């Protein structure tokens, strides 16, 4: 389940979705936790240690969330409330499940809820995705790393150019296209790092 928990509530504009625990309805569906009458405890962990837990019980048209929370080291407070569900048809058949955000005045149809004191949608918490907080150089480095992974190269543009060996079984045209895209992203990433930290790039790091 979701990332690390913060226990913070309604702190606008500064946090990302990774800063809050989360419940994904698609995961609940895959685990069979939307079947009426099913009840299960879900835990979050960091570094192998449990950081939080919640009990989810499914009823017709809704799930019941049951957990404890505390704010800024205060007393533990019990919370137990329903989150209503909705469905929409899929284009290829079947249906897609959604939470209806339980925050007062919201009711948005969402796939993921984030908690703090209550579980609500990212719009209510005004959470950004981590990629939206990235500097341009960081974003380019992340895209370059995705390509390096596809090509079987060591991660990190700061490791410098690889020998440019084509992976076995990959078409030459595909390899050339990915290498060209990697070089463009790597150039942007290194330029961004140089500007951010105020240094000149050594020649061996220029693609």
pLDDT tens digits in sequence order for the chain, 207 residues long:
433 233 333 333 446 666 778 899 999 999 999 999 999 998 887 777 787 899 999 999 999 999 988 776 778 889 999 999 999 998 888 899 999 999 999 999 999 998 878 899 988 887 876 555 556 677 788 788 888 888 888 777 777 655 667 888 888 899 888 888 888 888 888 777 676 666 555 554 445
Q: What does the pLDDT read at residue 7?
A: 34
pLDDT at 119: 93
Residue with the two structure tokens 């950081």:
51
pLDDT at 101: 96
For residue 121, give every residue at least 6 positions away whose Cβ sits within 8 Å of its Cβ, in sequence order, or none.
Answer: 99, 101, 103, 106, 108, 110, 112, 113, 114
What was the pLDDT predicted at 65? 96
Residue 36 — φ and ψ, nearest 5°?
-55, 135
Classify residue 17 by its DSSP letter. G
Q: What separation in angstroms does the CA of 196 have from each of 48, 50, 205? A: 34, 36, 16
The pLDDT value given to residue 17? 63
Q: Which of 145, 147, 150 is nearest to 189 (CA)?
A: 145
Question: By three-state DSSP, how is residue 56 classified?
Answer: strand
pLDDT of residue 61: 95
Instruction: Return d(Cα 181, Cα 168) in angstroms, integer.
Output: 19
Q: What is the pLDDT of residue 204?
A: 47
Measured distance CA(49)–CA(36) in Å, rounded: 31
Long-range contacts of 195-202, Cβ-Cβ distance < 8 Å, separation of 24 or more: 195/137, 196/135, 196/137
């Amino acid at each position: 389940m979701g990332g690390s928990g913060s226990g913070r509530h309604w702190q606008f504009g500064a946090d990302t979705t990774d800063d809050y625990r989360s419940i994904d309805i698609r995961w609940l569906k895959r685990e069979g936790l939307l079947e009426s009458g099913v009840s299960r405890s879900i835990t979050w962990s960091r570094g192998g240690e449990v950081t939080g837990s919640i009990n989810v019980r499914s009823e017709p048209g809704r799930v019941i969330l049951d957990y404890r929370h505390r704010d800024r080291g205060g007393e533990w407070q019990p919370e137990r409330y329903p989150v209503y569900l909705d469905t929409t048809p899929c284009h290829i058949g079947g249906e897609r499940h959604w939470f209806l955000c339980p925050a007062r005045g919201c009711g948005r149809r969402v796939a993921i809820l984030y908690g703090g004191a209550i579980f609500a949608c990212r719009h209510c918490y005004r959470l950004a995705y981590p990629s939206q907080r990235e500097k341009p150089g960081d974003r380019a480095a992340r895209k370059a790393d995705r390509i390096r992974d596809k090509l079987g190269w060591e991660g990190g543009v700061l490791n410098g150019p690889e020998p440019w060996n084509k992976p076995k079984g990959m078409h030459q045209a595909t390899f050339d296209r990915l290498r060209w895209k990697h070089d463009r992203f790597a150039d942007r990433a290194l330029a961004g790092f140089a500007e951010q930290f105020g240094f000149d790039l050594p020649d061996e790091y220029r693609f």
